[in-house]
Amino acid sequence: MIRLDNLTKVFDTPDGAVVAADHISMEVPRGEICVLLGPSGCGKTTTLKMINRIVRSTSGKVFLDGEDTSGLDTEALRRNIGYVIQQIGLFPNMTIEENITVVPKLLGWDKQRYKTRARELMDMIAMDAEAFLKRYPSELSGGQQQRIGVARALAADPPVMLMDEPFGAIDPINRAVIQDEFLKMQAELQKTIMFVSHDIDEAIKMGDRIAIFREGKLVQYSEPDELLSAPKNTFVESFLGEDRALKRLNLVRVRDVISDEIGTVVGNDTLTTARERIDAHGYRDAILLVDDRRRPIGVISRDTTGSHQGYCRDHMRGLPAVVNLGDDLRKVASLMFAHDTTWLPCVDDNGTLCGQITQRDMTHHLGSRYRARRSAADSEKPVGS
């Protein structure tokens, strides 16, 4: 757990005092990622660096796991905090192995132990130990260096990590890959992480909580969904952008919205049966055809049932698309637009049908937050007004 208590930094510059961080108080629960987000110069980096004393705070306190860090020795404190910087900062005179074992060595681990650890770390970041440990940083691609930077920070298994735009220096495609890998790792490691970003989409993807900064002040500190659906003021609103409601699509999974009620037919049903089911469920254009293990294989359109006779298996059309329970609504919406449909079948990891997702359900789900807020606001109004 990281807790900041009125943390403040004033830089004395030739042009006068700059308040880079102004009485920042916040708490990151153990095992969560908190993203510091805001426009350039708003004090994100300064706030982060006060935690490991790369920047000395003017006033205020930092607590790690409830312990006031001001009593701790600076070097000991830093060895206990994983630190990833934007410029990566691998030591060019050291091999990859030397780079990632730097903290264990400083902590006085014996050779056997840190050598083993180096291999563990390489496994963790999905890089081949034999191929890379003996190389030098200049022989690695940007993305590989970035992974090594993360491995170095994780080397001594610190409970707390500070990451300053850690994936900023890589191209968008690689960045998405590394973000995913990192989230997978975090799901196991459960570090308490402060993460600086100026990319809203990254913040929404990575953050369990997001802290919005403006001119040295903490403006809003919320979970992503709360932030997007209830920005505190016009600054946050405009920073998040006009399409902030759409960004919420990223946060919701199919399994949160799925309705398990779905009518189906199998190949041996007649078209008449199909027609009856379409009418019974009130479907407008078609019904899903599944195989004997309930895997979606096609659709029977309403029109076909009117104009033809026979078995469904002989009259099916191809399936537009299926979505997985773990997919986010952004992907679902995109597929619906691409296939000009208002519903899609949902399957689990085995491909078995679990239900369907409709545009109405999605709108309803996303809208519920706004509705709840509005009715709360209505009920707060004084009677008679």
Partner 1 sequence: MELLQYALDNLGLLGTRTLEHISLVGVAVGIATLTGVPIGIAITQNERVARAVLYVASIIVTIPSVALFGVMIPILSLIGQGIGYLPAVIAVLLYSQLPIIRNTYTAIHNVDPALREAARGVGMSQRQRLRMVEIPLAVPVIMAGVRTAVVLNIGVMAIAAYIGAGGLGTFISRGISQSDPRQLILGAVAVSLLAIIADYALLALQKRLTPKGMAVSSATA
Ligand X SMILES: Nc1ncnc2c1ncn2[C@@H]1O[C@H](COP(=O)(O)OP(=O)(O)OP(=O)(O)O)[C@@H](O)[C@H]1O
**92 scored as a contact of partner 1 (CB under 8 A):** yes
What is the Cα–Cα distance from 158 to 356, expressed in whole angstroms?
43
Minimum Å distance from CB 223 to partner 1?
29
Strand order in the sheet with 217-222: 81-84, 160-164, 192-197, 33-37, 209-214, 217-222
Give me 211's structure tokens: 């802290």
**325 scored as a contact of partner 1 (CB under 8 A):** no
**85 scored as a contact of partner 1 (CB under 8 A):** yes
Chain residue whose CB lies nearest ligand X: 45
CB-CB contact of 32 with 187 (8 Å): no
Residues 161-220 that bind ligand X (CB under 6 A): 198
Q: Which is nearer to partner 1, 154 or 289 (CB)?
A: 154
Other CB atoms closer than 10 Å to residue 148's CB: what's the count? 24
Which of 3, 22, 32, 43 is close enough to bind ligand X by CB under 6 A?
Answer: 43
Which of 1, 10, 18, 54 is close enough to bind partner 1 by CB under 8 A?
Answer: 54
Choices 93-101, 120-128, 230-238, 369-377 (CB under 8 A): range interacting with partner 1: 93-101
C-alpha neighbours within 13 Å on the C-beta side of residue 40: 0
CB-CB contact of 325 with 348 (8 Å): yes
Residues 345-384 that bind ligand X (CB under 6 A): none
18 binding partner (options partner 1, ligand X, Mg ion, none; Cβ < 5 to 8 Å by kind): ligand X
Q: How many helices (H) and strands (E) does the chain have?
A: 17, 16
Which of 11, 91, 337, 370 is close enough to bind ligand X by CB under 6 A?
Answer: 11
**234 scored as a contact of ligand X (CB under 6 A):** no
Residues 264-303 that bind partner 1 (CB under 8 A): none
**41 scored as a contact of ligand X (CB under 6 A):** yes
Minimum Å distance from CB 44 to partner 1?
16
DSSP code, position 149: H
Choices 42-50, 219-227, 277-285, 377-385 (CB under 6 A): range interacting with ligand X: 42-50
* Residue 297 DSSP SS3: strand
CB-CB contact of 245 with 231 (8 Å): no
Choices 38-46, 61-69, 125-133, 241-249 (CB under 6 A): range interacting with ligand X: 38-46
Other CB atoms closer than 10 Å to residue 284's CB: what's the count? 9
Give me 294's structure tokens: 């309930």
**196 scored as a contact of partner 1 (CB under 8 A):** no
Which of 46, 83, 166, 344 is close enough to bind partner 1 by CB under 8 A?
Answer: 83
Residues 133-192 that bind partner 1 (CB under 8 A): 136-139, 152
**46 scored as a contact of Mg ion (CB under 5 A):** no
Chain residue whose CB lies nearest Mg ion: 45
What is the Cα–Cα distance from 357 to 259, expressed in whole angstroms?
6
What is the Cα–Cα distance from 179 to 126, expressed in whole angstroms?
13
Q: Which is nearer to ligand X, 21 or 265 (CB)?
A: 21
What are the C-alpha distances in Å from 284 to residues 90, 115, 233, 300, 310?
Answer: 60, 64, 43, 12, 21
Sign of the alpha-carbon torsion through 170, 176, 181, 183: positive
What is the Cα–Cα distance from 163 to 194, expressed in whole angstroms?
6
Other CB atoms closer than 10 Å to residue 244's CB: what's the count? 18
Choices 40-48, 140-148, 167-175, 290-298 (CB under 6 A): range interacting with ligand X: 40-48
Where does this chain bind Mg ion (CB under 5 A)? 45
Site of interaction with ligand X (CB under 6 A): 11, 13, 18, 20, 38, 40-46, 198
Binding residues (CB under 8 A) for partner 1: these are 52, 54, 75-80, 83, 85, 87-95, 102-103, 106, 136-139, 152
